[in-house]
């Protein structure tokens, strides 16, 4: 149905009789011989208009007008009531229409409008400070907000779905609270067996030595490959790597401070061994707990080893973080941890599946095992760094 300056032909057929006049002849007759009840309804500036059948009208409408068609209006075969909705097409004969119909405006885009969601979070790379944010854009009917295909809206006025933005503050990944050491491996595999002396390989896959700190910080100035250690004196003061005597070592990656073993026969002697349990052992008393290593924990805190009094037995993960898998017997950097026996060291972690077992780490080959608590093992104390 053309809206502006056109003949609204709702009553081109005034009854259910199947009159097969040409459409142009019907229009002409309606102009020349107005039927009873015919009125040239004007809807200029009127938001809503009720029109009862039969009706034919020269109509001048604005975009906001709506004509309500009452029961009894007949629509001939193939007639279109509106440019938008509903488009009526009947297979045979006239049909009665009930309900509301929009009058087509002179500007076809005014019945539909673009709608958008709110802008999403500004997304950007860490440290760059510039990013982009996005939103959804869709087309909907102006009156009742029904979503329709986008081609119904004016493409020239379509709003954008993205824009640049400033990342405030830069959305950087959080720093790990418990970072891990790398493996210390600096050689590549040599298929079908063996290893190369350097980080080369005939295997078409990244090797351990190609990744992590062992690749990016591969120097031995402060520890083997990617390890980074600082020697500490008896009061906890840092010493240069060339120092020949030190009491503790700070792991600069994990922040942990470790006891250094001695050969003086005292509580820190490398040959001392203990059954599992005692002070700082984890768990809630499930299974057997021995108190053998209490003498080491109490003695280190009483003497304030390296200036600290919060020494404890490390967890399995903490202890295994000292393992240098580039070597065996002992599997540790001996330039910073001398007097280390290539044997088993207890952790504070109990073994969950058996009440009389706990985890230890072998510094012969770096493997972690669970073992019977009543067997004596070595212990190296640790404290959380600051």
The span from the first CA to the last CA of the chain, in angstroms, equals: 80
Instruction: List the one residue out of 176, 127, 180 whose CA is nearest residue 320.
Output: 180
Residue 346 φ then ψ, to 5°: -70, 145
Query: Distance of CA 227 to CAs 183, 257, 288, 293, 343, Å?
Result: 9, 14, 36, 28, 21
Torsion angle defined by CA atoms of residues 309, 310, 312 and 315, in that order, rounded to the nearest 10 degrees:
-150
Instruction: List the one residue out of 87, 59, 245, 222 whose CA is nearest residue 152.
Output: 87
Task: Report if pTM > 0.85.
Answer: no
Neighbours of 87 (CB within 10 A): 11
Contact of 40 with 85, CB cutoff 8 Å? no
Instruction: List the one residue out of 82, 155, 85, 79 whose CA is nearest residue 114.
Output: 155
One pLDDT digit (tens) per residue for the chain, 386 residues: 333 333 333 332 223 333 344 444 443 333 334 333 322 233 333 333 333 333 323 333 333 334 444 444 444 433 334 333 333 333 333 333 333 333 333 344 457 889 998 888 777 665 555 678 888 888 888 877 888 888 888 888 899 988 888 766 544 544 455 678 999 999 998 888 888 889 888 888 888 898 889 888 888 999 999 999 999 999 999 999 999 999 999 999 999 999 999 999 999 999 999 999 999 999 877 899 999 999 999 999 999 999 999 999 999 999 999 999 999 999 999 999 999 999 999 999 999 889 999 999 999 999 999 999 999 999 999 998 64
Q: Which two tokens stand for residue 274?
A: 């203990």
3-state secondary structure 105-144: CCCCCCCEEEEECCCCCCEECCCCCEEEEECCEEEEECCC
């Amino acid at each position: 149905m053309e809206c502006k300056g056109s003949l609204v032909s709702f009553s081109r057929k005034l009854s259910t009789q199947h009159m097969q006049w040409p459409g142009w002849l019907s229009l002409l007759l309606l102009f020349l011989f107005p039927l009873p009840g015919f009125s040239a309804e004007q809807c200029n500036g009127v938001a809503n208009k009720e029109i009862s059948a039969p009706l034919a009208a020269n109509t001048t409408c604005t975009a906001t007008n709506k004509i309500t068609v009452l029961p009894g209006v007949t629509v001939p075969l193939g007639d279109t009531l509106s440019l938008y909705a509903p488009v009526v097409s009947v297979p045979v004969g006239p049909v009665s229409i009930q309900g509301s119909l929009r009058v087509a405006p002179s500007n076809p885009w005014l019945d539909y409008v673009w709608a958008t969601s709110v802008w999403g979070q500004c997304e950007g790379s860490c440290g760059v400070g510039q990013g982009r944010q996005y939103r959804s854009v869709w087309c909907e009917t102006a009156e009742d907000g029904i979503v329709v295909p986008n081609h119904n809206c004016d493409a020239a006025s379509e709003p954008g779905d993205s824009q640049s933005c400033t990342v405030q503050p830069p959305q950087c990944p959080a720093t790990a609270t418990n970072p891990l050491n790398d493996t210390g491996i600096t050689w590549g595999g040599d298929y079908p067996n063996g290893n190369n002396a350097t980080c080369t390989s005939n295997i078409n896959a990244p090797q351990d030595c190609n990744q992590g700190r062992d690749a990016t910080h591969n120097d031995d100035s402060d520890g083997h490959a990617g390890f980074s250690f600082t020697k500490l004196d008896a009061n906890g003061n840092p010493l240069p790597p060339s120092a020949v005597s030190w009491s503790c070592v700070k792991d600069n990656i994990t922040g942990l401070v470790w006891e250094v073993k001695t050969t003086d026969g005292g509580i820190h002697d490398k040959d001392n061994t203990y059954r599992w349990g005692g002070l700082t052992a984890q768990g809630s008393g499930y299974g057997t707990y021995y108190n053998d290593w209490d003498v080491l924990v109490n003695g280190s805190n009483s003497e304030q080893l390296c200036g600290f009094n919060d020494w404890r037995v490390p967890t399995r993960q903490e202890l295994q973080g000292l393992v240098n898998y580039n070597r065996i017997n002992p599997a540790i950097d001996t330039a910073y941890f001398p007097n280390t026996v290539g044997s088993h060291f207890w952790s504070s972690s109990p073994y969950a599946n058996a009440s009389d077992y706990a985890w230890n780490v072998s510094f012969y080959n770096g493997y972690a095992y669970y073992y019977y608590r009543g067997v004596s093992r070595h212990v190296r104390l640790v404290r959380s760094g600051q």
